[in-house]
Chains A and B, each alone.
Chain A
Amino acid sequence: MTSSTPTTNLPTPQGTDVQPRRRNKALARFLANRMAVIGTIFVTLLILVAVFAPWIAPHHPNDDLFRGMRGVGPSLEHPMGFDHLSRDLLSRVIYGSRIALIVGITSTLISVVIGVIIGAIAGYFGGWVDEVLSLLTDALMAFPLIALLIVLAAVIGPSLTTTVIVIGATAWARYARVVRAEGMSVRERDFVTAARAIGAFDARIIFRHVVPNVLSSVIVLASLSVGSIIILESALSFLGLGVRPPTATWGGILADGRAFILRYPHIAVFPGVMIVLTVLAFNFIGDGLRDALDPHQKVDRA
């Protein structure tokens, strides 16, 4: 996925010198999309906040307990108020961004890798391999993901690692579908026959010719799925099957908020706002990438 000019070795009109211009056009289109730019800025800021959380957060998320401030609402010094254990909610929400981003981004990467490999194998080899893998993909697509996650998390034992792996291992079906279709179409083309004839390995053909062709679709899908994965993670933590307390997570704070909703309703407000904003930002980036990359691709391929 690190290849910078994906189509250079294809004997097509999209040669090497066209590449940078095309890329710049896509970038220009992306930058012209106001919402996509706002999303990018928000995500960048969030990443900075997550990385520098210990310096930015005014208090420790777990250890700083304020006597007599149990469940006290927002004030100037404590803009999000205190939770039911008299911890500073702003600090907890800041630390929570770490979990959201770690899970959102790593799980997405894991699922992309799995999906691309499975899709490429299914599409490129066809036959019974394709039948089996497609059945698996269909089964995953058809199944309510959260039910699967709940069961798996309970079986393995909830933790950050479990959450990342379990989500990554189950959210790959969309990529597999897209890559499979490309694998099938590439298999039929002349240059693949030629490559085979001169003795190229299947793996090489897959990584040289199948993967680069689907890269932009995969990037768009991936950027759009970060948001839904963040929601999944917070749902798991909310149900007590994600990252364990006392680690501050947005879903976990919401679970506290639910438990004390009738007494301290303010607890549940801010982590939710952060989830909505973060998911919106990632979705805007995804929409922007789709508009910038996809139509162009179709035109080029025609």
Chain B
Amino acid sequence: MSTYLTFRILKGFFVVVLISILTFVIMRLMPGDPVFLLLGDGQISITQEQIDAIRAKWGLDRPLIEQYFVWAGNLLRGDFGESLIRAGVPVRYMIAEAIPVTLTLNAFALALALVVALPMGIAAAVRRNSPIDYVTNVVSAFGIATPNFWLALMLIVIFALQLGWLPPFGLRTWQGYVLPVLVMATEEMAILMRITRGAILELLPQDFVRTARSKGMPDRRVLWRHVVSNALLPVVTVVGFRVAFILSGTIVVETVFALPGIGRLFVDSVLRLDYQVVQSLVVVFAVLVVVVNLLTDLVYALVDPRIRMS
């Protein structure tokens, strides 16, 4: 178990390092000299000395490898540098400011998705080929095929424009969360339904289920005690492994609804060429994904002794 754990942590660490190196290289390929980005347009004339001074201040005059290590070292100490566009604002603050919005959004979306998808998936599997199974299949097929940003636009048209119940953009009141949460939940719901249904269908014909039934256990108890509890494991794992996708969803959905979260900060920073923010966020994403995947694996290993052994 401890070797497994060490191995996994090492591997996760390497993935983060790899992504940080790639990001660093990619960001240096961005068009435009960072010095002019720092100065902004409309600057009159600056001397070569001034340029050199700025380069020295930001460490841009050193070799790339050294720059990377300085940057990575700062990251490890929690120093993300300062935004190039919002001059003087530490990137750390910008990220810390945005995280609560994203976290709230995702927590509610995931909770909603689970609350709807688990019962639907279970019901669909138990009553196979019934109307409820049919509805579940149709809903999940459409949920997977519908781009979240289009769903967002349509919900804005219906609930903000036609009915006037909810605000179309922004977070001035808590109602601003309703539509984004719905959109993000739809995508996850579609996938979780499918997985729950599949997991249960796989368990139903197994021997231990038949044994429990033949012992005279009522169907309902067989379902809850033996089938659902076993099916939950793959579902939880999938939730863990979908962090990357959930983050992708946040990026687009926050942009559509103009929510001040991590995703919108990311898109805005890319469009404004604020690469100090972009590269920090990419590393934050990578760490987040690696940590959640690791936790998922651990939960799995703790719950399922078969994995702990191997």
The interface residues of chain A lying within 8 Å CB-to-CB of B27 are: 151, 155
- Interface residue total, chain A, C-beta cutoff 8 A: 40
Residues in chain A near residue B30, CB distance under 8 A: 154-155
Chain B residue, CB-CB nearest to A136:
B18
> What residues of A have a CB within 8 angstroms of the CB of B282 in the complex?
147, 151
Contact A143 B153 (CB under 8 A): no
Would A265 and B161 be within 8 Å (CB), given that A136-B18, A144-B244 are in contact? yes
Contact partner of B153 (CB less than 8 A), chosen from A146, A147, A258, is: A258
- Residues in A with CB closer than 8 Å to B18 are 135-136, 139
State A136–B11 Cα separation when bound (angstroms). Answer: 11
* Residue among A135, A136, A147, A272 with the highest chain B CB neighbour number at 10 A: A147
Query: B23 to A151, Cβ gap below 8 A?
Result: yes
| Alpha-carbon gap, A71 to B85, bound state (A) | 36
Within 8 A of B (CB), among A163-199: none
Q: Which among B23, B149, B156, B273 has the greatest number of chain A C-beta atoms within 10 A?
A: B149
Interface string of A137-149 (1 = CB under 8 A from B): 0110111111100
B201 to chain A, nearest CB (A): 14
The total number of A-B Cβ pairs within 8 Å is 127
Confirm or deny: A38 has a beta carbon within 8 angstroms of a beta carbon on chain B: no
Closest to B270 in A: A154
Say whether B267 faces chain A, with CB atoms less than 8 Å apart: yes
Number of interface residues of B (CB under 8 A): 48
A271 to B22, CA, bound (A): 35
Residue A1 at the chain B interface, CB threshold 8 Å: no
Chain B residues with Cβ below 8 Å from A231 are 147
Chain A residue with Cβ nearest B245: A144
A269 contacts partner chain B, Cβ-Cβ < 8 Å: yes
Query: In the assembly, what is the distance between CA of A241 and CA of B255, in Å?
Result: 13
CB contacts (< 8 Å) of A283 on chain B: these are 141, 144-145
Contact of A151 among B26, B157, B161, B293 (CB under 8 A): B26
Partner of B149, one of A136, A235, A280: A235
Distance between Cα atoms of A70 and B94 in the complex (Å): 40
Majority SS at the chain B contact face: helix
CB <8 Å contact, B252 and A240:
no
Q: Which A residues are CB-close (under 8 A) to B150?
A: 254, 268, 271-272, 275-276
Partner of A144 from the list B157, B248, B256, B267 (CB cut-off 8 Å) is B248
Report Cα–Cα, A88/B224, bound state, in Å.
56
B16 to A, closest residue via Cβ: A139
Choice from A141, A147, A157, A235 contacting B147 with Cβ under 8 Å? A235
Residue of B whose beta carbon sits closest to that of A267:
B153
Is A142 touching B252 in the complex (CB atoms < 8 A)? no
B1-40 residues at the A interface, CB under 8 angstroms = 11, 14-15, 18-19, 22-23, 26-27, 29-31
Cβ of A261 under 8 Å from chain B: yes
Which A residues fall within an 8 A CB radius of B?
A: 135-136, 138-139, 141-147, 150-152, 154-155, 157, 227, 231, 234-235, 238-241, 254, 257-258, 261-262, 265, 268-269, 271-272, 275-276, 279-280, 283
Could you list 21 examples of A-B contacts with CB < 8 Å? A139-B18, A139-B22, A141-B244, A142-B244, A142-B289, A143-B244, A143-B289, A144-B285, A144-B289, A147-B282, A151-B26, A151-B27, A235-B252, A240-B271, A257-B153, A265-B157, A272-B154, A275-B145, A275-B150, A276-B145, A280-B141
